[in-house]
Copies of this chain bind each other. A is one copy, B any other.
């Protein structure tokens, strides 16, 4: 495999196709922030602003500025989005709304903890890019609010009746693996090291279930499997994405056994989640092969495939596993063949099981300037490092 050539393919797609798309099409010059609802050609089809996607775009352009090139237009794009988010994104007490109108009026209350995690990630990276301590402080206070809320992230919007079935969810510890590394310059190396041990244990020894060789999305409070819809739920892309967060953390901590384990889990999950009939990775599955609740269970989503490419490449770089490389080739073929739009910039997000485009938007309520460019960046860097 020509790693150098592949690295260039990912780099060019990032810098010549995807980044210009968001830079040119998404910025709201009138009110600040970003439009994320962009149709196939990049026209705005809805103006609501979702905090997840506002924050992720601030992070993306700050990260590109910090790690790729100090382009003034990237910094300005990140800064103006950061200002919009700082001004309108929270309630003044560090609680981050879920969505805003175009002008910045709150639409949906702060019920979603991941609005907080992506805001923290955004301001940590923007603080680095600008040297502005105000952004760094906002990242830190937001991080503290996450810790305060982590036991009951939905707060008063939690619809579970107390005491009947308390499940722990995988998503927050999984995201914290990434966020702690993202914020190491603020949180300090000692803190990150200490919390990393706990987080890696939580992911690999609680949510990863050796009896089925897979990561489940929810477990009972005591760590046991719950034979319920939520307890049987598998989200292969989510589990695989977590594995490169774990590999990053484990590399930082120099834990070879954990890297090995994360690379193995990536492969096991991929083999289980791969659609043998039509190719691609299923969105949701049931650990006991019962019918899942999610009607979109068999769809093929952009982020699932791009995150898998990252985990496979990192697994190969860190362990030399040939199987990881073979699976990378297979997922790479599928991803570029089905998700890349050959006619207009950026990638499709939503395919049906057969691989036909189900929604041809380039951005919406959940797809924004994040998984495609982050994945292209991560693959480019990893491929270059392998090629050396």
Q: Which residues of A contact B (CB under 8 A)?
A: 39, 45-46, 48, 97-98, 101, 105-109, 111, 156-157, 159-161, 164-165, 228-229, 290-293, 295-299, 350, 352-354, 358-361, 364-365
A159: chain B residues within 8 A (beta carbon): 98, 108-109, 111, 157
Q: Is the CB of A228 within 8 A of B48?
A: yes
Q: Given A159-B157, A160-B107, A353-B352, verify A46-B101 contact (CB < 8 Å).
A: no
Q: Is the CB of B101 within 8 A of A165?
A: yes
Cα A164 to Cα B100 with chains together (Å): 9
Main DSSP-derived SS at the A contact region: loop
Q: Given A106-B161, A109-B159, A296-B296, verify A291-B359 contact (CB < 8 Å).
A: yes
Q: Is the CB of B364 within 8 A of A293?
A: yes
Closest-by-CB residue of B relative to A354 is B354
A354: chain B residues within 8 A (beta carbon): 354
What's the minimum C-beta distance from A234 to chain B, rounded to whole angstroms?
Answer: 15
A97: chain B residues within 8 A (beta carbon): 161
29 CB contacts below 8 A, A to B, read A39-B290, A46-B228, A46-B290, A48-B228, A105-B161, A105-B164, A106-B164, A107-B160, A107-B161, A107-B164, A108-B159, A109-B159, A109-B161, A111-B159, A156-B156, A157-B159, A229-B365, A291-B360, A292-B359, A293-B364, A293-B365, A295-B295, A295-B350, A295-B359, A297-B358, A297-B359, A298-B352, A298-B358, A352-B352
A358: chain B residues within 8 A (beta carbon): 295, 297-298
A39: chain B residues within 8 A (beta carbon): 290-291
Cα A160 to Cα B107 with chains together (Å): 6
Known: A101-B164, A109-B161, A291-B360. 20 other contacts (CB 8 A): A39-B291, A45-B291, A46-B229, A48-B229, A97-B161, A101-B165, A105-B164, A107-B160, A107-B164, A108-B161, A109-B160, A111-B159, A156-B156, A157-B157, A157-B159, A291-B361, A291-B364, A292-B359, A295-B358, A352-B352
A350: chain B residues within 8 A (beta carbon): 295
Cα A294 to Cα B205 with chains together (Å): 35
A228: chain B residues within 8 A (beta carbon): 46, 48
Cα A298 to Cα B359 with chains together (Å): 10
What's the minimum C-beta distance from A198 to chain B, rounded to whole angstroms?
Answer: 29
What's the minimum C-beta distance from A270 to chain B, rounded to whole angstroms?
Answer: 22
Cα A296 to Cα B39 with chains together (Å): 18
7 smallest beta-carbon distances between A and B, as pairs? A295-B296, A106-B161, A291-B361, A45-B290, A291-B359, A105-B164, A109-B159
A98: chain B residues within 8 A (beta carbon): 159
Closest-by-CB residue of B relative to A365 is B293
Question: Among A111, A161, A353, which residue has the most Cβ atoms of chain B within 10 A?
Answer: A161
Closest-by-CB residue of B relative to A38 is B291
Closest-by-CB residue of B relative to A350 is B295
What's the minimum C-beta distance from A206 to chain B, rounded to whole angstroms?
Answer: 22
Cα A15 to Cα B154 with chains together (Å): 46
Cα A106 to Cα B361 with chains together (Å): 40
What's the minimum C-beta distance from A139 to chain B, rounded to whole angstroms?
Answer: 24
A359: chain B residues within 8 A (beta carbon): 291-292, 295, 297
What's the minimum C-beta distance from A261 to chain B, rounded to whole angstroms?
Answer: 31
Cα A358 to Cα B295 with chains together (Å): 8
